[in-house]
């Protein structure tokens, strides 16, 4: 039992990766639709490349979308809308007309005129409310039939028979002229305008319910295909009815209810395929990015992003498959490249697209578009922290989507008139959504403790609070850090290391010297040396403490761990050689470990570059009258000594790359000292 626990403890990283791998596989398979997958690609307008296809079971032929749309349009044209007729309003208006008549017309009217006016008002009132008065205007043709519902009774009338409020004045004028009551025109119009109210309203709920009921009566199929019937022969062009029959077979195959046994086999199939795809990603990371493979947080980050893209795509497909291209899939390679490198970003993107090919319609077209867009993303984004570059990349991604979709549509339809402009809008929205990568990277930095080029650019600003404090308290150290940063950046560019990262590391590697700045020669402005009053061991302790102090300051100021690594490793496990020799002159039994930096040794190209540049730049200040040969020998001696001490054994830097760094340092130092080649006399 104890040995098992020890084994578990020693291999905890491996067990975690296995758990992460299996968990990701489970989540992705769980999100996938569990229906069958039609095993043929339907080549619209092209010859059938497979063997003769026979119907595996009885199925109905689905109507094409344009057929269904035409039937719905016909229903819309012939559909009769519903209106409600309110009889209570009619009674109120009739009572109001009687009151208004007494108020408007004087008692001096003759009995004949009085009767004539009252008959006109009653007849006009009945004619107005025969079909009712409608306030809102609906764009219907005058002869359109409508249902007028009063209580439980429904009558059918024409739309023009319902008087609209804006037509009331013209209607009254015609009636007054016909009755020859022009002398009373103003009074009659005023009377009706003060009394008449709309009593007909559009019943949207009932109309829509009736419309949906008629939609539901539409048959979505036309005919059946019996089992064993040949659907398409090899070499036959897939178009027209054959295309619709194939699409019907595909829809039936993917929507049929599976037995428990079939369902389980589908799950097994999906699991194996997802397992293989993720295994390829894991093996790629292990073989070509072993430093990432060793870091559980980085591996988790990569698998989390793959799962997130699959989740977003599945959610969009379930909502509306037409919006599948709105998912900003190119955020994935952008993010991976922003934190790691292009090769890993592209490989991760391709694996993710392969996974999504299981669930998207037109999988070949989708995968082609997404892989091409991912390649363009990787090739065009060189400096993600520059906003202009990101906008240019988004524009190029959108253009690639549009051109590829346009080409596919021409191939499939044989005409440019079948291109759907709405799809271009989807590509544009997907491109705009890609701009979300910048706040996403910021969030990932906080969640996973990673660092991107955008954060490195911010940290490289010499006007930052911490670097300003360094320049105030230890100006010599600040100047030394700037020189080291320039040397390290040039060396990193030479061997294709992360130049931005090593520059930032160089700027902050000596911030621990702010605690005791005068104990370091670059900050001593007088002839008084603080070490003269200390023993060699005490002096060495103060010198060594600047590494520990630097780590404390960096953590207090929330510097990223990758920057803190440069503070920890820039002296590796070397000794404070000057004070060690001085101690050995006084005492032959000196413990070298008392004069040794705590380490660790550099464990990456970037930290190795910083160690070389820091040592060379610091030691170069002791050269009194430098010559080209002297600098060459000087650089060789310092770096060779570090190699002999095994300081670069843990870093993945090669001998050839070390030689390239030496050449850069020699050239840069000669430029600093303005040296020329020494010609023989």
Residues 514 and 662 in one domain: yes
Query: How many separate domains does the chain show?
Result: 3
Same-domain pairing of 267 and 411:
yes
d(CA 148, CA 158): 10
The verdict on 429 and 513 lying in the same domain is no
Residue that terminates a domain, selected from 190, 214, 238: 214
416 within domain boundaries: yes
Last residue of a domain, one of 409, 428, 448: 448
Helices (H), 217-362: 240-255, 260-288, 290-293, 296-319, 331-339, 342-356
307 in the same domain as 193: no
Considering the domain architecture, whether residues 389 and 520 belong to the same structural domain is answered as no
The pLDDT value given to residue 258: 53
**Token pair in block for residue 75:** 């229903």
Helix-strand-coil split of the chain, %, nearest 5: 65, 5, 25
Quote the tokens at residue 357: 């090919």
- Residue 415 falls inside a structural domain: yes
pLDDT the model gives residue 4: 58
Cβ-contact 543, 529 below 8 angstroms:
no
Pair 444, 477 in one domain: no
CA–CA distance, 351 with 402 (Å, rounded to integer): 23
List, as one string, the DSSP characters of 88-146.
HHHHHHHHHHHHHHHHHS-TTS-HHHHHHHHHHHHHHHHHHHHH-EE-S-----TT-EE
Distance of CA 469 to the CA centre of its chain: 38
Rounded to whole angstroms, how far apart are CA atoms 268 and 276?
A: 12
| Residue 238 located in a structural domain | no
Task: Note whether 133 and 209 are same-domain residues.
Answer: yes
| Whole-number percent of the chain with pLDDT over 90 | 25
Token pair in block for residue 163: 């008087």
Asked whether residue 462 is domain-assigned, the answer is yes
Domain that holds residue 367: 2-31+260-448
62 found inside a domain: no
For residue 189, being part of any structural domain is answered with yes
Rounded Cα distance, 551 and 539, in Å: 20
Specify whether 17 is located in the same domain as 160.
no
- DSSP-assigned letter for residue 257: P
Q: Where among 152, 185, 214 does a domain terminate?
A: 214
Rg (CA), the chain: 42
Closest residue by Cα to residue 631 from 620, 642, 621: 620
Q: In 3-state terms, what secondary structure has residue 348?
A: helix
3-state secondary structure 548-579: HHHHHHHHHCCCCHHHHHHHHHCCCCCECHHH
Cβ(450)–Cβ(298) under 8 Å? yes
Rounded Cα–Cα distance for residues 310 and 387 (Å): 27
Give the bridge partners for 405, in sequence order.
Answer: none
Asked if residue 571 and residue 472 are part of one domain, the reply reads yes
Q: What are phi and psi of 42, to 5 degrees?
A: -90, 110
Contact criterion met (CB below 8 Å) for 370 and 346: no
Residues 398, 467 within the same domain = no
Q: How far apart are CA 346 and CA 609, in angstroms?
A: 28
Q: Could you tell me how many helices (H) and strands (E) the chain has, helices first?
A: 28, 10
For 675, which DSSP code?
-
Q: How far apart are CA 635 and CA 491, in angstroms?
A: 13
What's the half-sphere exposure (Cβ side, CA atoms, 13 Å) at 643? 15
Domain-embedded: residue 234: no
Q: Which two tokens stand for residue 343?
A: 């090769």
SS3 241: helix
392 and 464 part of one domain:
no
Cα-Cα-Cα-Cα dihedral of 661, 596, 579, 550, to 10°? 70
Residue 48 domain flag: no
Q: Which helix (DSSP H) or strand (DSSP E) does residue 663 occupy? A: helix 655-672
Element (H, E) at 75: helix 65-78
Low-confidence ranges of the chain (pLDDT < 50): 257, 676, 679, 681
CATH code: domain of residue 555: 1.10.3210
- Both 502 and 624 in one domain: the answer is yes
The Cα 564–Cα 537 span in angstroms is: 26
**Residue 77 Rama label (left phi>0; alpha psi -120 to 50; beta):** alpha
Q: How many CB atoms lie within 10 A of CB 235?
A: 9
């Amino acid at each position: 039992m104890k040995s098992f626990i020890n084994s578990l403890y020693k291999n905890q990283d491996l067990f975690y990766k296995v758990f992460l791998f299996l968990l990701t596989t489970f989540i992705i398979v769980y999100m996938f639709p569990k229906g069958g997958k039609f095993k043929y690609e339907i080549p619209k307008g092209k010859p059938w490349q497979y063997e003769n296809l026979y119907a595996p079971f009885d199925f109905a032929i689905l109507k094409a979308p344009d057929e269904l749309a035409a039937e719905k349009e016909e229903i819309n044209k012939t559909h009769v809308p519903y209106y409600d007729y309110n009889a209570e309003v009619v009674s109120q208006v009739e009572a109001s007309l009687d009151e208004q008549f007494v108020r408007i017309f004087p008692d001096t009217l003759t009995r004949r005129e009085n009767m004539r006016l009252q008959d006109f008002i009653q007849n006009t009132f009945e004619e107005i409310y025969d079909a009712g008065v409608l306030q809102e205007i609906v764009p219907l043709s005058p002869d359109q039939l409508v249902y007028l519902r009063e209580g439980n009774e429904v009558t059918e009338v024409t739309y023009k028979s319902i008087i609209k409020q804006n037509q009331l004045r013209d209607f009254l004028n015609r009636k007054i002229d016909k009755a020859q009551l022009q002398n009373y025109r103003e009074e009659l119009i005023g009377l009706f305008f003060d009394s008449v109210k709309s009593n007909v309203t559009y019943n949207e709920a009932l109309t829509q319910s009736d419309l949906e009921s008629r939609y539901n009566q539409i048959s979505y199929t036309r005919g059946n295909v019996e089992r064993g019937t040949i659907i398409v022969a090899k070499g036959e062009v897939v178009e027209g009815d054959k295309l619709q029959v194939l699409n019907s077979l595909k829809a039936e195959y993917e929507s049929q209810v599976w037995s428990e046994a079939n369902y389980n086999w589908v799950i097994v199939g999906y699991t194996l395929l997802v397992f293989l795809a993720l295994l390829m990603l894991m093996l790629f990371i292990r073989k070509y990015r072993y430093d990432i493979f060793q870091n559980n947080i980085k591996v988790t980050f990569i698998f989390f992003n793959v799962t997130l893209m699959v989740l977003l795509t599945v959610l969009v497909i379930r909502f509306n498959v037409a919006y599948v291209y709105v998912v900003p899939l190119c955020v994935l390679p952008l993010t991976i490249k922003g934190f790691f490198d292009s090769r890993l970003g592209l490989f991760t993107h391709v694996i993710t697209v392969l996974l999504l090919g299981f669930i998207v319609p037109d999988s070949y077209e989708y995968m082609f578009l997404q892989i091409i867009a991912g390649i363009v993303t990787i090739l065009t984004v060189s400096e993600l922290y520059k906003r202009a570059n990101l906008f240019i990349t988004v524009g190029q991604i959108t253009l690639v989507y549009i051109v590829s979709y346009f080409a596919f549509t021409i191939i499939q339809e044989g005409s440019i008139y079948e291109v759907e402009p709405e799809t271009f809008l989807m590509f544009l929205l997907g491109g705009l959504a890609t701009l979300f990568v910048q706040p996403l990277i910021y969030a990932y930095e906080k969640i996973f403790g990673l660092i991107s080029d955008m954060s490195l650019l911010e940290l490289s600003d010499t006007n930052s609070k911490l670097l300003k404090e360094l320049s105030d308290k230890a100006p010599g150290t600040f100047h030394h850090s700037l020189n080291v940063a320039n040397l390290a950046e040039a060396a990193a560019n030479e061997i294709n290391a992360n130049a931005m990262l090593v520059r930032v590391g160089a700027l902050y590697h000596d911030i621990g010297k702010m605690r005791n700045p005068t104990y370091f020669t670059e900050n001593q402005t007088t002839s008084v040396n603080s070490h003269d009053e200390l023993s060699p061991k005490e002096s060495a302790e103060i010198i060594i403490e600047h590494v520990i102090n630097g780590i404390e300051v960096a953590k207090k100021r929330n510097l990223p761990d990758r920057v803190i690594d440069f503070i920890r490793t820039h002296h590796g496990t070397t000794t404070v050689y000057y004070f060690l020799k001085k101690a050995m002159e006084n005492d032959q039994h000196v413990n070298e470990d008392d004069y040794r930096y705590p380490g660790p040794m550099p464990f990456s190209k970037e930290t190795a570059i910083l160690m070389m540049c820091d040592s060379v730049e610091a030691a170069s200040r002791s050269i009194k009258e430098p010559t080209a040969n002297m600098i060459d020998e000087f650089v060789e001696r310092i770096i060779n000594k570090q190699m002999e001490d095994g300081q670069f054994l843990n870093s993945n830097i090669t001998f050839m790359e070390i030689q390239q760094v030496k050449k850069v340092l020699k050239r840069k130092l000669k430029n600093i000292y303005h040296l020329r080649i020494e010609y023989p006399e």
